[in-house]
Structure 1
Amino acid sequence: MKYFSLVFLFILFSCGNKEDILLSKSNVTIVSNVVDHSPIYIFFRTKEKDTLAEVNRKNSIISTNWILNIDKRLPLRLVIPEVMKLQDKKRNEVAHKNELAQNYYSYADSIHKNLAFLPFTKVYYVKEKPKSSFIVFFSKKNEIFVDGFPGSHEELKSFLNSFPKEKLGIIRFGFAKELSFGTYIQNKVLIQSLKIETKEEFIY
């Protein structure tokens, strides 16, 4: 029952309305605990035939660590623009800026049955295809292409593990804008579990 409540994150707002977010899932915990944090929610909404992302940051405090709880069903084309706005707000803050405050995505660890967190403070999102010739791309169907050549997740893991550490910086990670946020998190967890930090990510 406890794990079920993690997969469905239930939020009871002061107005008495109960909302729910279907959290992303992975089998690895990157960060297990975050203190001094503020929650931000991005809900999955529908209006007629359209899918919408609705942001609630009423309880966010600029000087704290931000935890973004995002519904896994949302496509990146709706999520990332909202995340970029939040990043800009925090990065451009002057009066109450806290250089130590981080940003995290929340997700459920399906193996250890706990809530986990994925840091993304240093990531800058770019909404176009990278000009670099060495690209790891995750398609809408979560197919993987390394410099245009298809491969499996296990092959990607083996490739990244064997890649010279001093040259990892030349790799650019791209994600299809129609990829679901839940699948994006699974791929991000894979990348970070290999101790690879991405400073730029391309959504196109």
Structure 2
Amino acid sequence: MKKYIVLAATLSLFSCKQEDVQLAKADVSVLADIQDHSPVYMFFRENEKDTVAEINRNNTIGTTNWIFNIDKRLPLHAIIPDLIKLQDKKKNGMHKKEGTINVFSYADSLHQNLAFLPFTDVQYFYDTEFSKFFIKKKAELYMPYNNFTINFRKDNTITIDGHEIDKEELAPYIQDFSDFMSEGKNTILHLNFDKHLTFNQYLQNKLMLWKITSDRIQISSFEFIYDETKLPECGCEL
């Protein structure tokens, strides 16, 4: 197994080759300790045409928990296709072990340690899907719930059910709705991310909403990483 070193000054993580991965950071630890783990690294690389992820998973063991160490500068379109493949490889591998999990690593700036966000159950829809259309197709399934379509756009603005909202107001709005106007229904948050957002933006927004989850407020395990030019024409605000 690899040993991890977090440098407080740079909040970077190193592989045995001493190549650095600049980690996202946040002021909360979802998980603070992972036992029996092996690493996947996604390094930030630039070529003449695009930004790409260079993947190193040479030391992954299928029967362990996998820690995904992803450079915060990488755009989602450079990450998600490979992430989907790696999830599938671990889930369906010959030597898989029930109960193991996949987590993203990040730096907890409050406690100055490495922290982890599980994403084992997340199923990514890439490029051509958006939760608003998905919910409509699965109307009977989602009818018993209050469903919020939350869209993190490429200009770093946020909409909820097509209406722009300040980032600082998003969590209080959802909590107030769940507390006072949900008519007893549980609330599901359906997350959409423009594929040009960085991994840092993706993780920060996920952690922001994780803080308000409860028995009444849940984040859907289906996540939509979309290309706006490939979505169906709907004549509506996303």
- TM-score when scaled to structure 2? 0.78
Match of 2:106 in 1: 107
Letter in 2 for 1:31: L
Residue 170 (structure 2) pairs with residue 156 (structure 1): yes
Aligned counterpart for 1:181 among listed residues 196, 199, 202 = 199
Check conservation: 1:26, 1:107, Cα contact below 8 A: yes
Q: CA deviation at 1:156?
A: 1.0
The Cα RMSD (Å) is 1.7
Gaps of 5+ in 1: none
Q: CA deviation at 1:160?
A: 2.3
Q: Which has the larger radius of gyration?
A: 2
Letter in 2 for 1:178: H
Check conservation: 1:30, 1:193, Cα contact below 8 A: no
Aligned counterpart for 2:152 among listed residues 138, 144, 162 = 138
Check conservation: 1:106, 1:115, Cα contact below 8 A: yes
1:111-157 per-residue CA deviation (whole Å, 9 max, x = no partner) reads 22111100000000001222136410011122110011111222111
CA separation in 1, counterparts of 2:85 and 2:91?
10
Letter in 1 for 2:108: D
- Report SS of the residue matched to 1:28: coil
Match of 1:124 in 2: 123
Q: CA deviation at 1:48?
A: 2.0
CA separation in 2, counterparts of 1:161 and 1:183?
22
Match of 1:51 in 2: 51
Gaps of 5+ in 2: 1-5, 137-147, 227-238
Residue 200 (structure 2) pairs with residue 198 (structure 1): no
CA separation in 1, counterparts of 2:29 and 2:167?
18
CA separation in 2, counterparts of 1:76 and 1:166?
33
Runs (4+) off by over 4 Å: none
CA separation in 2, counterparts of 1:42 and 1:32?
21
Q: CA deviation at 1:59?
A: 0.5
CA separation in 2, counterparts of 1:174 and 1:2?
32
Q: Which has the higher contact order (CA 8 A, sep 6+)?
A: 1
- Report SS of the residue matched to 1:3: coil
Match of 2:8 in 1: 3
In structure 2, the CA distance between the partners of 1:2 and 1:76, relative to structure 1 (3 Å rule), is closer
Letter in 2 for 1:115: L
Aligned residues: 197
